[in-house]
Chain A
Amino acid sequence: MEIQLLHRPGNTAAKVTLNPTEVCTAESGAMIAMSNNINVTTTTHKRGKGSILKAVKRMVAGESLFINHFEAQNTTGEVWLGTALAGDMEVMTLDNETLVVQGSSFLACEHAIEIDLGWQGFKSILSGERVFWVHLKGSGKVLISSFGAIYPIHVDGEYIVDTGHIVAFNETLDFTITKAGKSWLHSFLGGEGLVCKFHGKGTVWCQSHNPSSFGAMLGGDLRSR
């Protein structure tokens, strides 16, 4: 499976080239175009290993219950993947490790990767992210997306990431919800409110922009429901 990223970082699209019988698993609704020889199947979980519990978890997580499997038949095929919002993508190669991905940032992965949902505790509710997080486990390529540019922060000790800016992080890291400044008063007055404080040693990938802030700005001009 080859992944090529085009039009970075503003409106990145991923061109996935599949050899015959290779399978790419992608988030529901991510396909924007593809060659004619691609077979699509839709399942609630990894093919052949379906578990209703995992499907229900996906639903609770606000993710689509279903994921799609794109398989090239006979000849090499291509699938283009995109997202709802403008932004960048990043291809990561896992080597028998686990990557924790914020729910709406998971886009696609190789068939060999195990997709599961993890629970980051009640702090997730305050983090401005989804309650459930996608755990990608195993060896192979994964494709994640962001609102804005993606930049890695190598944490060794502590680092603060504002809520709404987390894309993914190594399992070796953990975060707590805390205040941005020394005083609670200044943190709230300054509009920073709650932030995520990461600790441990590893990498957290952040998105430069916060989708909720943009939504709030745009909301005023939108037609009322």
Chain B
Amino acid sequence: MQDNQYHVTLTGKIADATNIEHASAQFARLFKTTPEVAMQTLQKGPVTIKRNVDQATAIKIRNVLDKLGIGCRILTADEADAEARAATQNLSVNNNTSVKKDSSSPISDTFESPTDHPGLQFKIEGKPDYSFVTVQLPANQTLKVEASAMATMDTHIEMKTKLKGGLGRFVTGESIFINEFTAAHGPGEIGIAPGAPGDMMHVYLNDEVLYLQNSAFVASAMSVNIETKWQGFTKGFFSGENLFLIRASGKGDLWFNSYGAIIEIDVQDNYVVDTGNIVAFTEHLDYKISKVGGYKSLFFSGEGFVCRFSGKGKVWIQTRGVDAFAWWAHAYRPARSSG
């Protein structure tokens, strides 16, 4: 066991860069691969080519590679693990392009809309922790944006404030206004930053319906209808803040956000989600509010009520709970000034 824990890793550096063809050919012969694959491997940067060999073998491989002028290092399994972890977490200086966050779920920090997508062109940056969307508005087009979420824009974009959502959002203390931004005298861009730290998703509604948790709305095309939906007292009351849901319908772009990262769950049959962690769900799911475990759990588990989804569809959940954060923040609130 002790012996077979050495890895050999290429540094991505080649002593004589002009002679890469020769090095690739030799490398291909040694590792029984094609010269094309070999050349890609050599140019890729740090990559582990041999795992779990004993020290003598590792040194032998290094000597061969040294002769070919291919840079490599020998690492113990522990060192390699540490480095791999560091590499996934590090953001190298002066390089803000896509960073791989986690090998199990490769996420780029920028998402650009495909050019053939039917809606507006946009770019989401800062994924998944501080997603920020920049939308390109063609001349005279209008975008609905959650109040106070605009962060940057071209100077010729005009803003109008509309009372939207009516009573629902008023009662819950959410902003009752949605702003409309119009590219008045030619195309322009607008950058949108939601208040909550977290991710953002884009969907193009094609005469479909999507339900959003009350504060998840970020922006939408004018052709998307945004309404608040009273959940009914039993559902609404027990699900805490979500007395109202947002019902988005129609055809066009819709952006919504989360507190924390977003996890998509394919509901096949039944799934349980904490009421504070729901971001959005598709139309054909049924849900009911229930307790988790016995009555003792209801009061003492700290989970309170949960939402039981049934049917077939998708639920998007957020990795952080709003209520828990509100309680945490509560401790830092300033005291009310006397009088």
Touch A–B, Cβ below 8 Å: yes
In the bound complex, CA of A28 to CA of B308 (Å): 19
List 17 extra interface pairs beyond A31-B303, A220-B334, CB under 8 A: A7-B105, A7-B261, A8-B89, A11-B129, A11-B260, A11-B319, A12-B261, A12-B319, A32-B273, A40-B293, A41-B294, A42-B297, A65-B300, A82-B320, A84-B324, A85-B320, A225-B334
**Given known A-B contacts A13-B261, A39-B293, A66-B301, A215 and B328 have beta carbons under 8 A apart:** yes
B206 beta carbon closer than 8 Å to chain A: no
In the bound complex, CA of A220 to CA of B333 (Å): 7
Q: Please report B residues at the A interface, Cβ cutoff 8 Å.
A: 88-89, 101-102, 104-105, 107, 128-129, 197-199, 260-261, 263, 265, 269-274, 277, 292-294, 296-297, 300-303, 308, 317-321, 324-325, 327-337
Asked if A86 and B89 make an inter-chain contact with CB atoms under 8 angstroms apart, the answer reads: no
**Given known A-B contacts A215-B332, A222-B332, A13 and B272 have beta carbons under 8 A apart:** no
A-B pairs with beta carbons under 8 A, tally: 161
Asked if A32 and B274 make an inter-chain contact with CB atoms under 8 angstroms apart, the answer reads: yes
Selected contact of A28 from candidates B300, B317, B330, CB within 8 Å: B300
Asked if B333 and A36 make an inter-chain contact with CB atoms under 8 angstroms apart, the answer reads: no
Asked if B335 and A85 make an inter-chain contact with CB atoms under 8 angstroms apart, the answer reads: no
Asked if A13 and B269 make an inter-chain contact with CB atoms under 8 angstroms apart, the answer reads: no
In the bound complex, CA of A129 to CA of B272 (Å): 34
Asked if A33 and B273 make an inter-chain contact with CB atoms under 8 angstroms apart, the answer reads: yes
Minimum distance in angstroms from A192 CB to a CB of chain B: 21
For chain A, residues 1 to 19, give those with C-beta under 8 angstroms from any C-beta of chain B: 4-13
Selected contact of A10 from candidates B261, B293, B302, CB within 8 Å: B261
Nearest A residue to B277, CB-CB? A32
Q: Chain A 212-225, CB within 8 Å of chain B: the 1/0 string?
A: 00011011101111
Interface centre among A4, A32, A36 (most CB of B within 10 A): A32
Minimum distance in angstroms from B193 CB to a CB of chain A: 15
In the bound complex, CA of A85 to CA of B271 (Å): 24
Asked if A35 and B271 make an inter-chain contact with CB atoms under 8 angstroms apart, the answer reads: yes
Contacts of A28 in B (CB 8 A): 300-303
Asked if B329 and A10 make an inter-chain contact with CB atoms under 8 angstroms apart, the answer reads: no
Minimum distance in angstroms from B131 CB to a CB of chain A: 11
Q: Please report A residues at the B interface, Cβ cutoff 8 Å.
A: 4-13, 27-36, 38-42, 64-66, 68, 80, 82-86, 149, 211, 215-216, 218-220, 222-225
Asked if A6 and B105 make an inter-chain contact with CB atoms under 8 angstroms apart, the answer reads: yes
Contacts of A224 in B (CB 8 A): 333-337
Could you jot down 29 A-B contacts, CB within 8 Å?
A: A6-B261, A6-B263, A7-B101, A7-B128, A8-B88, A8-B89, A11-B260, A11-B261, A11-B320, A13-B263, A31-B274, A31-B292, A32-B273, A32-B274, A32-B277, A33-B263, A33-B265, A33-B272, A35-B271, A36-B270, A36-B272, A41-B296, A42-B294, A65-B300, A80-B263, A215-B329, A218-B332, A224-B333, A224-B335
In the bound complex, CA of A218 to CA of B333 (Å): 8
Asked if B332 and A219 make an inter-chain contact with CB atoms under 8 angstroms apart, the answer reads: yes
Contacts of B324 in A (CB 8 A): 29, 83-84
Nearest A residue to B298, CB-CB? A42
- What are the 5 closest A-B residue pairs judged by CB atoms, nearest first? A29-B302, A28-B302, A84-B324, A10-B129, A7-B261
Minimum distance in angstroms from A177 CB to a CB of chain B: 22
Selected contact of B272 from candidates A11, A38, A42, A223, CB within 8 Å: A38
